[in-house]
A and B are shown apart, each in its own frame.
Chain A
Amino acid sequence: MGQQAPTGPELRPDRLSRQNLAGWLYSTPFLALFLTFMAFPIIATLLMSFTDFGLRNVTHPLDARFVGLDNYTALFGDPKFMKALFNTCYFVVLGVPLTIGSGLVAAVLLNSGIDRFRTFFRVGFYVPVVTAIVAVAVIWRFVLDPSEGLIAGLGAQLGFSTPDFLASKALAMPSLIVMAVWRNMGTAMVLFLAGLQAIPVEVREAAKLDGAGAFQEFRRITVPLLRPTMLYVAVMTTIGFLNVFEEPFVMTDGGPGDSTLTVSLHMYKEGFSFFHMGSASAMAYVLFTIVLAVTLLQFRLLKDKTR
């Protein structure tokens, strides 16, 4: 990210003022929309999180009562929210490494010098990324369907019985994770492919000449040089996974027994089904704080080692 201003020839004052005017005119549409639909709501969420904002406040927002940190303290005493927090972490801790891992494996395979069908495979792996999560969730609910689904069908064909994945407290979340990995792996793959192709051939050849095997080359050359890509993929995937919503919304509605209730889904239900908007706002900020903390942590962990 370059911060430097464009270094043109020295600007005369009249041109500078013309550029001032143009600059601000060009900024206006974005800034107006940003202030109205992002900046103001971000602050409003914070303010709402300190109030008892409820259904009647949708029409009379200013009547909401200030309750200090009550919403936040209540959240951390609420087993349901803690369960949602745990589920979200579970989803991230398992889902993110699996997504990165499978994306990296696919990218390395595609980059390993195969001549034919490279585009074909790449496109095939990427298709799930472009499809709507809602449609994907509906499809996977059917794939996992205990009586008519693909997995049950395969099981019947091969002669073993399959569990009802989404109705099992132990298996529902892992099922959602598998699905999320399936859908997001393509993004990681494409980014890793770009990263792999940026590694100069000379470096690899030098490693070869020094007698490095394939595994050593991967460990000593590929992984370190791929670190910036790794950082980007890790951060983006983690942010996406921390906000997981559509998968449990469509597939399980948070069940069975809250085993797939995520923070975003809990926030949605509290906010728009029960109109506990003050408490839902507090959840939004707790989630945001976690996103921020994890992102900063990842930057530290993945960046410092290269220095």
Chain B
Amino acid sequence: MSATEPRTTRPPKPGRTATSRRPGTTALTYTLLTVGLVVMSAPFLWMAISAFKTPKDLGASPPVWIPTEWTLANFRELLDLMDIARNFMNSAVVAVVVTVCNLVFCSMLGYALAKLNFAGKKAVLGVVLGALMVPGNLMLLPQFVMMSKMGLLDSYAGLILPFAAGAFGVFLMRQFMMAIPDELLEAARIDGAGEWYIFWRIVLPLVKPALATLSIFVFLGSWNNFLWPLVATNDPDKYTLPVALATFATDPTKAAGSNGVLMAGAFLVVLPVVAVFLVLQRHFTQGIATSGLK
């Protein structure tokens, strides 16, 4: 029930032995799944193709499904209109630092909550669980005022600090670390190992799968985050990728430009994440499943 078995890769596939299937049912299942998949992927395909269309093909009626002429003009125009390399870097720097901070801070507290006895532990756990339930909107306005007073608007620090240690990560790490046998840690203590050594050399290597899951989630969350970067940045040089794209898309003076350019922008925002996802997809879905089923 809990995420205490990080190593179990795939549960056995039930239903298969239990169900004696008729060929008609199977065909129907595949048909429905295929229809679903077409609906799910159509917007992406439309975006990917349109990014390479000429204005003539974009405006054609009836529509041109396969471009008569493939062009990179949309991407070139996009590069002229915004410093997308810079925005890409901003997103990457923020996401990497946020991920590293979460890995360190969340596993530290997760370990303390799972394996250490200290006065006030229940209170700290209560804080973590409470923090899990608070929506981000509730903090937005004072956070902006604070950052403004601290001079951190339009800075990496301002984009990173509010997300440097998430309650979700603490909870996830705690769940995984509870599965480590106490005897193992006790033996290390008897051998004279300090708490830091135990945490760093014994516990962390044992929860590598959890660390992988957490990095994926935090990185993705940061990469896709929108509302806070929108509020915390005014300088286009400090925009993250989603903010740059949204600002571009909703600016009436620019958006009138071309759908092709917008799709080129969306393409560049979506592509890296989807590529990473396709490579690591098993960890994604497993992470969702294990962290969701408490």
The interface of chain A, by Cβ under 8 A from chain B, is 1-3, 5-9, 11, 15-16, 18-24, 26-27, 29-31, 33-34, 36-38, 40-42, 44-45, 48, 53, 57-59, 61, 106, 109-115, 117, 119, 121-128, 130-143, 145, 147-148, 150, 152-154, 156-157, 182, 185, 187, 190-191, 193-201, 204-205, 208, 228-229, 232-233, 236, 239, 242-243, 245-246, 249-250, 253, 264, 267-268, 271-272, 277, 280-281, 284-285, 287-288, 291, 295
* In the bound complex, CA of A284 to CA of B138 (Å): 5
Is A249's CB under 8 angstroms from B182's CB? no
Chain A residues with CB below 8 A from B121, complex form: 5, 23
A/B interface sample: 11 pairs, CB < 8 A: A15-B189, A29-B104, A33-B164, A112-B21, A114-B33, A132-B273, A145-B259, A153-B61, A182-B40, A194-B293, A197-B13
Q: Please pick, from B50, B226, B270, the residue contacting A246 in the complex, using a CB distance under 8 A.
A: B226
Q: Which residue in chain A gives the minimum CB-CB distance to B241?
A: A132
Is B47's CB under 8 angstroms from A33's CB? no
* In the bound complex, CA of A302 to CA of B43 (Å): 35
Q: Which residue in chain A gives the minimum CB-CB distance to B258?
A: A148
5 A-B pairs with the lowest CB-CB distances in the bound complex, closest first: A23-B118, A153-B63, A44-B142, A194-B289, A41-B139
Chain A residues with CB below 8 A from B2, complex form: 2
Chain B residues with CB below 8 A from A134, complex form: 224, 226, 242-243, 245-246, 269
Is A138's CB under 8 angstroms from B262's CB? yes
Is A112's CB under 8 angstroms from B19's CB? yes
* In the bound complex, CA of A295 to CA of B223 (Å): 28
Is A204's CB under 8 angstroms from B224's CB? no
B interface secondary structure, majority? helix
Q: Which of B50, B116, B245 has the most A CB atoms < 10 Å from its CB?
A: B116
Beta-carbon contacts under 8 Å, B32-67 to A: 32-33, 36-37, 39-44, 46-47, 50, 58-59, 61-63
Known pairs A44-B141, A123-B278, A249-B250. 12 more at Cβ < 8 A? A27-B112, A58-B145, A127-B44, A135-B269, A137-B246, A138-B265, A150-B42, A204-B19, A246-B227, A250-B250, A281-B141, A295-B133
In the complex, identify which listed stretch (B72-80, B81-89, B123-131, B206-214) lies at the interface while the others stay far away. B123-131
Least CB distance, A204 to chain B, in whole angstroms: 4
* In the bound complex, CA of A11 to CA of B115 (Å): 13
* In the bound complex, CA of A41 to CA of B39 (Å): 42
Least CB distance, A280 to chain B, in whole angstroms: 6
Chain A residues with CB below 8 A from B63, complex form: 148, 150, 152-154, 156-157
Least CB distance, A52 to chain B, in whole angstroms: 14
Least CB distance, B209 to chain A, in whole angstroms: 16
Q: Which of B117, B141, B186 has the most A CB atoms < 10 Å from its CB?
A: B141
B93: interface (CB < 8 Å): no
Q: Please pick, from B29, B137, B185, B226, the residue contacting A267 in the complex, using a CB distance under 8 A.
A: B137
Task: Answer whether A190 and B112 are a contact pair too, CB < 8 Å, given A132-B273, A271-B140.
Answer: no
Least CB distance, A113 to chain B, in whole angstroms: 5
* In the bound complex, CA of A6 to CA of B291 (Å): 21
Chain B residues with CB below 8 A from A22, complex form: 112, 116, 118, 195-196
Q: How many A-B pairs with Cβ below 8 Å?
A: 346
* In the bound complex, CA of A41 to CA of B136 (Å): 10
B165: interface (CB < 8 Å): yes
Beta-carbon contacts under 8 Å, B75-116 to A: 104-106, 108-109, 111-112, 114-116
Q: Which residue in chain A gives the minimum CB-CB distance to B65?
A: A153
* In the bound complex, CA of A280 to CA of B137 (Å): 10
Is A1's CB under 8 angstroms from B40's CB? no
Is B109's CB under 8 angstroms from A142's CB? no
Is A288's CB under 8 angstroms from B105's CB? no
Chain B residues with CB below 8 A from A7, complex form: 182
Task: Answer whether A250 and B246 are a contact pair too, CB < 8 Å, given A19-B117, A26-B112, A191-B293.
Answer: yes
* In the bound complex, CA of A243 to CA of B112 (Å): 33
Q: Which of A138, A147, A242 has the most B CB atoms < 10 Å from its CB?
A: A138
Is B288's CB under 8 angstroms from A6's CB? no
Is B109's CB under 8 angstroms from A30's CB? yes
Task: Answer whether A141 and B165 are a contact pair too, CB < 8 Å, given A26-B109, A112-B29, A191-B289.
Answer: no
Beta-carbon contacts under 8 Å, B165-195 to A: 165, 167, 170, 178, 182, 185-186, 189, 195
